[in-house]
């Protein structure tokens, strides 16, 4: 480590080179002419899509909506092959963007930020990396993703296990060969549900350890036709308009009908059509699915019935459909023949609700009832979401206060964009913004553009510090809470939206549930009224 190198002065340090970091670099460097630098701990660009290489990894957003829209050229030049893009294709896309926008020269790979300290006399950040470099930056912009801090549960005995184990979010680049192996997978969230059918097709035997049964919607993957590809390019402006003017950032609106007021036969027909259509459109079937328990139950019952219809062994079907929370109260996965996988002879299901995992042994996984011998354990156990990837960074703001300490009772931000006491720091898709409740790329673009406009206006006025106030952040947290309480989302007590999946984490509903379009309007108003709630000096 070279610690004697001179401190490099830059306008902005951006942490992370996924969708967010790359667009932020382009905006600051190429649109505003600033000296910006990205620090990336991976050996390549791509963020989430660099790390999540597990079998079956795909995006649950449709490909023509899972891309940048800020550049007409990028939209026209890139061509997706499938309805839902697989991880390698998304990683190729992000590499294409890095090359096309000539970003690589300002992205430092294989480098982790180890510290960022705010200097109150200069209003600048001193950023230190694990490669020994130091940067003196006016702005610190985190683009670390909401789901990038792997959560490996502390199950006793893991070090005794004689086989191999992997977390899906830290998957080996060379892949894992399951041929002839007995595999155990823990976790049936979006990741587990994507991985299970693919691992089952290769492994000798797959044992799925399910703690909470989950709803899942069929994806109905298919290659894109030439007609659709042409349509998506030709109508990109209209598609973008839909994505940015609705609640969820996808290219479809939520139906304005109420599930309760719709006659039962019409409702059933709607659900059947959406089920056949595949993907998140099912969630958009009626306007009240996420706000009214009775409405939600109609969708939940429909899916439970589908599960029981698909799974041939009634006992297994019962365990899979015995779901204890409202539909979409947790992020609903979409799948490729997930429930059908339980009809294979080489797949078995263990219900951890009736017999929890006691420990991991040298040979496998032991529940309170039985030991299951496996050669490989896959942890599809999720992430320390939204705050985990930020508090693990040693970020020290005013009065030497760390972000970890400031958020010890839960995150507090203004609009998910700034944290009081951390001037000149912006958090792209930070807690308190719609982020994970929406399709990510448009929410990222909106944040990057808001931040870039703010910096541009400061520069134009010769100002050098922007800082949100405690009062504005308190008020925003109240709005985040109000928006969540207006939905069924906080009713799910074991959800990662609340931080409940990580023992000891404060349980606070983290994303903004008021909808992307509404949130965007609020952000625009704040900016047009002279950045109310943000002091500039
Ligand atoms: O993680 P999760 P994920 N013992 O936290 C179980 C996004 N995503 O990686 O529900 C036993 O949802 C846990 O059980 P329970 C998407 O936003 C996007 O699957 O806590 N089980 C649960 O079943 C998603 O929501 C895409 O009882 C344990 C599972 O592990 C988010 O990432 C694809 C356990 C974790 O589910 C996270 O999804 C994939 C324990 N000790 C993911 N600890 C795309 O769109 C945890 N579990 C591409």
- Domain match, 341 and 205 both: yes
Q: What is the pLDDT of residue 17?
A: 98
CATH number at residue 506: 3.50.50.60
- Domain match, 402 and 518 both: yes
Taking the centre of ligand 1 as the mean of its atom positions, its distance from the CA of residue 35, in whole angstroms, is: 38
- Domain match, 344 and 395 both: no
Q: What is the pLDDT of residue 1?
A: 47
> Tell me: the pLDDT tens digits for 458-486?
999 999 999 999 999 999 999 999 999 99
**Residue 524 corresponds to which tokens in the numbers above?**
């625009």
d(C-alpha 488, C-alpha 399), whole Å: 39
Taking the centre of ligand 1 as the mean of its atom positions, its distance from the CA of residue 231, in whole angstroms, is: 35
1 located within any domain: no
Ligand 1 contact via 331 beta carbon (within 6 Å): yes
Ligand 1 contact via 496 beta carbon (within 6 Å): yes
Ligand 1 contact via 381 beta carbon (within 6 Å): yes
Q: Which of 379, 410, 428 marks a domain boundary?
A: 379
**Residue having the nearest C-alpha atom to atom 3 of ligand 1:** 382
Q: Which of 323, 358, 379 marks a domain boundary?
A: 379
Residues of the chain with pLDDT under 50: 1-2
- Domain match, 314 and 430 both: no
534 located within any domain: no
- Domain match, 346 and 486 both: no
**Residue 83 corresponds to which tokens in the numbers above?**
């309805």
Ligand 1 contact via 287 beta carbon (within 6 Å): no
Q: Which of these, 56, 52, 11, lies nearest to 34 by C-alpha position?
A: 11
Q: What is the pLDDT of residue 246?
A: 94
With the most atoms of ligand 1 within 8 angstroms of its CB, the residue from 189, 196, 325 to mutate is: 189
- Domain match, 16 and 144 both: yes
- Domain match, 375 and 390 both: no
341 located within any domain: yes
- Domain match, 365 and 392 both: no
432 located within any domain: yes
231 located within any domain: no
**β-strands 376-379, 164-167: how paired?**
parallel
Of all atoms in ligand 1, which is nearest to the CA of residue 379? 30
Taking the centre of ligand 1 as the mean of its atom positions, its distance from the CA of residue 201, in whole angstroms, is: 21
142 located within any domain: yes
**β-strands 357-360, 364-367: how paired?**
antiparallel
CA 453, 29, 111, 191 dihedral sign is: positive
- Domain match, 208 and 343 both: yes
Task: Label residues 387-417 b or e (16+ Cβ within 10 Å = b).
Answer: bbbbbebebbbeeeebbeebbeebbbbbbbb
536 located within any domain: no
Give, in order, the Cα–Cα distances in Å from 344 to each of 197, 222, 337, 422: 10, 23, 11, 53
- Domain match, 38 and 113 both: yes
Ligand 1 contact via 190 beta carbon (within 6 Å): yes
Domain count, the chain: 2
313 located within any domain: yes
Of all atoms in ligand 1, which is nearest to the CA of residue 436? 17
Residue holding tokens 């011998």? Answer: 373
- Domain match, 92 and 16 both: yes
> Tell me: the pLDDT tens digits for 186-218?
999 999 999 999 999 999 999 999 999 999 999
- Domain match, 108 and 184 both: no
By three-state DSSP, how is residue 173 classified?
coil
Q: Which of 338, 357, 379 marks a domain boundary?
A: 379
The range of the structural domain enclosing residue 512 comes to 7-149+385-529
């Amino acid at each position: 480590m070279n610690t004697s190198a001179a401190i490099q002065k830059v306008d902005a340090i951006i942490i992370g080179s996924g969708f967010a970091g790359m667009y932020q670099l382009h905006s600051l460097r190429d649109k505003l002419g600033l000296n910006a630098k990205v620090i990336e701990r991976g050996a390549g660009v791509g963020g989430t899509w660099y790390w999540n290489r597990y079998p079956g990894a795909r995006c649950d957003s449709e490909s023509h909506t899972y891309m940048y829209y800020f550049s007409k050229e990028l939209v026209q030049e890139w061509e997706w092959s499938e309805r839902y893009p697989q991880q390698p294709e998304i990683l190729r896309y992000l590499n294409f963007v890095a090359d096309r926008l000539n970003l690589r020269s300002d992205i430092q790979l294989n480098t982790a930020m180890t510290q960022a300290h705010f200097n109150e006399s200069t209003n600048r950040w001193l950023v230190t990396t694990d490669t020994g470099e130091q940067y003196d930056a006016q702005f610190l912009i985190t683009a670390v993703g909401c789901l990038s801090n792997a959560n490996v549960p502390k199950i006793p005995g893991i070090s005794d296990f004689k086989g191999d184990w992997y977390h899906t979010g830290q998957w080996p680049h060379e892949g894992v060969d399951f041929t002839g192996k007995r595999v155990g997978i823990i976790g049936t969230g979006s990741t587990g549900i994507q991985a299970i059918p693919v691992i089952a097709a290769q492994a000798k035997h797959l044992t799925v350890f399910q703690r909470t049964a989950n709803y899942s919607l069929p994806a109905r993957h298919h290659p894109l036709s030439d007609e659709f590809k042409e349509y998506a390019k030709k109508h990109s402006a209209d598609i973008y308009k839909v994505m940015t003017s609705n609640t969820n950032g996808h290219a479809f609106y939520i139906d304005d009908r109420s599930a309760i007021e719709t006659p039962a036969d019409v409702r059933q027909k709607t659900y059947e059509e959406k089920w056949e259509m595949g993907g998140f459109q099912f969630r958009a079937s009626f306007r009240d699915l996420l706000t009214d328990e009775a409405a939600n139950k109609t969708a939940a019952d429909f899916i439970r019935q589908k599960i029981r219809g698909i799974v041939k062994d009634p006992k297994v079907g019962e365990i899979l459909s015995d779901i204890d929370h409202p539909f979409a109260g947790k992020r609903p996965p979409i799948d490729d023949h997930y429930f059908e996988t339980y009809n294979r002879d080489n797949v078995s299901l263990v219900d951890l609700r009736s017999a929890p995992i006691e420990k991991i042994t040298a040979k496998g996984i032991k529940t309170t009832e039985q030991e299951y011998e496996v050669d490989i354990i896959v942890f599809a156990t999720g992430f320390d979401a939204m705050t985990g990837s930020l508090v693990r960074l040693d970020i020290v703001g005013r009065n030497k206060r760390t972000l970890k300490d400031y958020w010890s009772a839960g995150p507090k931000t203004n609009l998910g964009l700034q944290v009081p006491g951390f001037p000149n720091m912006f958090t792209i898709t930070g807690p308190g913004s719609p982020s994970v409740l929406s399709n990510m790329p448009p929410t990222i673009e909106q944040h990057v553009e808001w931040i870039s406009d703010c910096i541009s206006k400061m520069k134009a006025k010769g100002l050098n510090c922007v800082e949100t106030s405690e009062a504005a952040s308190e008020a925003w947290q109240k709005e985040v809470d109000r928006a969540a309480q207006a939905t069924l989302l906080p009713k799910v007590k074991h959800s990662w939206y609340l931080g409940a999946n990580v023992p000891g984490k404060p349980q606070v509903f983290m994303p903004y549930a008021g909808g992307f379009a509404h949130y965007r309007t609020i952000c625009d108003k704040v900016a047009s009224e002279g950045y109310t709630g943000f002091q500039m000096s």
